[in-house]
A and B are shown apart, each in its own frame.
Chain A
Amino acid sequence: MTKLPVLILGARSDIGKALAHNFAALGHPVQLAARKASSLEADKTDMELRHRVSVSLHEFDALATNSHEAFVAELPELPQIAVCAVGLMGEQAENERDVAAAARVMRSNYEGPASILALLANRFEERGSGTIVGISSVAGDRGRATNYVYGSAKAGFTAFLSGLRNRLAKRGVHVVTVVPGFVATQMTKGMDLPAKLTAEPNEVADAIARAVERKKDAIYVRPIWRLIMLIIRNIPERIFKGMSI
């Protein structure tokens, strides 16, 4: 049986790339969408050689929302699974002072991803099948002083995904919210992350592929994060506001 394609939005991300390999190994053709998509030529060759599936490259900018309709229309085939790995952390200190920088973080983590996934969701709904995967973040579970601009956008994205899931549940379209916890990627390069809480990109990819197969709604990649965030969410605001975590 020939498998339908998987679309990876933000394909240059470490998590996105690992995921592309994962689905390609299962026999899915892969559509890699990114800014400067041509820089992914070597990865395309690598994936085609290893997994014997076809891989196509597509120019995509999450911030250029008015290009999203055309982007979807020009895909060679409507994917079965669409994953959004787009994200931008920015510098919290800069986000506090610079309105434009903050807006870029907000738009990159919420507006852009929500815009493209909304269009794909509608096409999936028409077809009556498909899976949408959004990569959000524990930062969206509660705003903290150290990264609340990024976190607030992820919170919006998480709410968007849950609403989308609710809307499409009876229409044959499944939506997965992924909360990875810390991951050792370009985004976190140079940060001093606790080893026990930090996943490798391929661990995240395995967890996502499993969640898609088992039709999970929302996953924390390392289960310990579910507990950590349960505690963090339940600290009374009066106490929380004085903490530095």
Chain B
Amino acid sequence: MKLAGWGRYPVLEARKLAPRSVEALRQLVVSEPSLIARGNGRAYGDSAINSSATIQMRHLNRMIAFDPASGQLVAEAGVLLGDIIAAFLPRGWFPMVTPGTKFVTLGGAIAADVHGKNHHLDGSFRCCVDWIDVMGPDGETRRCSLEDDAPLFDHTLGGMGLTGIILRAGIRLSKVETAWIRQTTIATPNLKAAMNAFEAAQDATYSVAWIDCLGTGGNLGRSLVMLGEHAIRADLSPRQAQAPFAIKPKRKLSVPIDFPAFALNSFTVRAFNALYYWAGARKTDTQLVDWDSYFYPLDAILGWNRIYGRKGFAQFQCALPLEQSEPGLTALLSEIANTGSGSFLAVLKRFGKQDSAFSFPMEGYTLALDFPVTPKTLALLDRLDQITIAHGGRFYLAKDSRMTSATLRASDTRAAEFQAHRDGQGFTSRFRSAQSERLAL
């Protein structure tokens, strides 16, 4: 069958298998010449596709235990983050780290070592993972953690499924008092001001910015910086405080057909401008936002990836070291504005410290934006790669669908060590994705 990632580019012919038990999975691991695990297919490119055996983990999706004293949840890898929230937010618990969609599996969150809006304070998903059970090429399951089998732990977080199949994990949830976020929006006229706002907000629990990519000259990097804190009960209205975890169920919209990208872009740009002037007029504005709208605004539109039309889209996401962030971001945004094609909105975020074998984040800034796949934007993406490399940056494999292995190696010196580790453990021939083959990992 045809398989693709969230960006619907590339689309590859692949054999998909969906084992229903650990034993059935083990049989596949020991008998298939090569294979890769697939979670919920929210990575943009080809990281969860192996043409001869793509192992869909959806049936291994049970929660196993929860300890209210420590907040530790033990669950199988196919459990969705959204299921964890549905089960545990009403009890006052929320994931410590969450990406911008709740439709990711626990296995996918570990394999990409995802980051959230609190990376500058709490780090990546890794910080909430106590241990991971990983099935190796021999079909044996090894439990790894910082204490036991640390190399496996270290390479599995951010290892994009290339160190084995994640079966289950113990992760810690955070205690929250309500299902609401106190959001403060700051309108900043240019990149420098946006970065200053991030630096001034290092104590904020959550921070992220939208950048208007159409801004040029003095407006380059015109942004809305959005800070967030978990609301406490005292922040809620008396009515909300009666049921602090209840939010109105939202109507799900879905995108039934493929439609042209300009529709999305003109919509988001209008939304941006409206918010920008509104927030700007108030200088700083604080409001209560429910968890679903705050963390997962795009999840309300099911299948929004179809907005980009049949050819699909590619996401560019890089991380730049702190000292190179300002020149690097300026160069990237100028290049995008000059080309005048593609994404009109970008997401900017300050990363905190990160120490791991192959995870994406590094202390500095990350920039992410979508482009419909056209020859023109693919050429632009190549130029953005070069600018990133020139500023000491690297790329997020969970978003990548097109970079070359030379680009990877020029941007990330850790790739050689990761590859050597895979070779040494006998992973290389067994755990392979279309992405790992493209990147010669």
Residues of chain A having any CB pair with chain B under 8 Å: 42-43, 45-46, 49-51, 186
B4 CB → nearest A CB, Å: 15
Q: Is the CB of B62 within 8 A of A46?
A: yes
Q: Which 7 A-B pairs have the closest CB atoms?
A: A46-B62, A50-B87, A49-B63, A46-B63, A42-B62, A49-B66, A50-B63
Residues in B23-66 with C-beta less than 8 Å from chain A: 62-66
Which of A45, A46, A186 neighbours the largest number of chain B CB atoms within 10 Å of its CB? Answer: A46
With both beta carbons as reference points, the residue of chain A lying nearest to B64 in the complex is identified as A45
Jot down 14 A-B pairs with beta carbons below 8 A, ordered by A: A43-B62, A45-B62, A45-B63, A45-B64, A46-B63, A46-B64, A49-B63, A49-B64, A49-B66, A49-B87, A50-B63, A50-B83, A50-B86, A50-B87
Task: Provide the B53-96 mask, 1 if CB < 8 A to any CB of A, else 0.
Answer: 00000000011111000000000000000010011000000000
State A186–B62 Cα separation when bound (angstroms).
18
State A46–B65 Cα separation when bound (angstroms).
8
Query: Is B20 an interface residue, CB under 8 A from the partner?
Result: yes
With both beta carbons as reference points, the residue of chain A lying nearest to B73 in the complex is identified as A49
State A51–B64 Cα separation when bound (angstroms).
13
B339 CB → nearest A CB, Å: 37
State A50–B87 Cα separation when bound (angstroms).
5
Chain B interface size, under 10 / 10 to 19 / 20 to 34 / 35 or more: under 10
Q: Is the CB of B65 within 8 A of A49?
A: yes
State the main secondary structure of chain B at its contact with A: mixed
The interface residues of chain A lying within 8 Å CB-to-CB of B63 are 45-46, 49-50
State A43–B86 Cα separation when bound (angstroms).
17
Q: Is the CB of A51 within 8 A of B62?
A: no
Residues in B220-263 with C-beta less than 8 Å from chain A: none
Q: Is the CB of A186 within 8 A of B87?
A: no
The interface residues of chain B lying within 8 Å CB-to-CB of A45 are 62-65
State A42–B86 Cα separation when bound (angstroms).
19
The interface residues of chain B lying within 8 Å CB-to-CB of A49 are 63-66, 87
State A81–B64 Cα separation when bound (angstroms).
27
The interface residues of chain A lying within 8 Å CB-to-CB of B20 are 186
New A-B contacts (14) at CB < 8 Å, excluding given A45-B63, A46-B63, A51-B87: A42-B62, A42-B64, A43-B62, A45-B62, A45-B65, A46-B62, A49-B64, A49-B65, A49-B66, A49-B87, A50-B63, A50-B83, A50-B86, A50-B87
The interface residues of chain A lying within 8 Å CB-to-CB of B65 are 45, 49
Which of A42, A45, A49, A51 neighbours the largest number of chain B CB atoms within 10 Å of its CB? Answer: A49
With both beta carbons as reference points, the residue of chain A lying nearest to B66 in the complex is identified as A49
The interface residues of chain B lying within 8 Å CB-to-CB of A186 are 20
State A49–B173 Cα separation when bound (angstroms).
15
State A161–B248 Cα separation when bound (angstroms).
38
State A42–B22 Cα separation when bound (angstroms).
12
State A50–B80 Cα separation when bound (angstroms).
12
Task: Provide the B1-27 mask, 1 if CB < 8 A to any CB of A, else 0.
Answer: 000000000000000000010000000
State A244–B66 Cα separation when bound (angstroms).
54
Which of B63, B66, B86 neighbours the largest number of chain A CB atoms within 10 Å of its CB? Answer: B63
State A43–B63 Cα separation when bound (angstroms).
8
Which of B62, B66, B83, B86 neighbours the largest number of chain A CB atoms within 10 Å of its CB? Answer: B62
State A245–B158 Cα separation when bound (angstroms).
49
The interface residues of chain A lying within 8 Å CB-to-CB of B86 are 50
A90 CB → nearest B CB, Å: 20
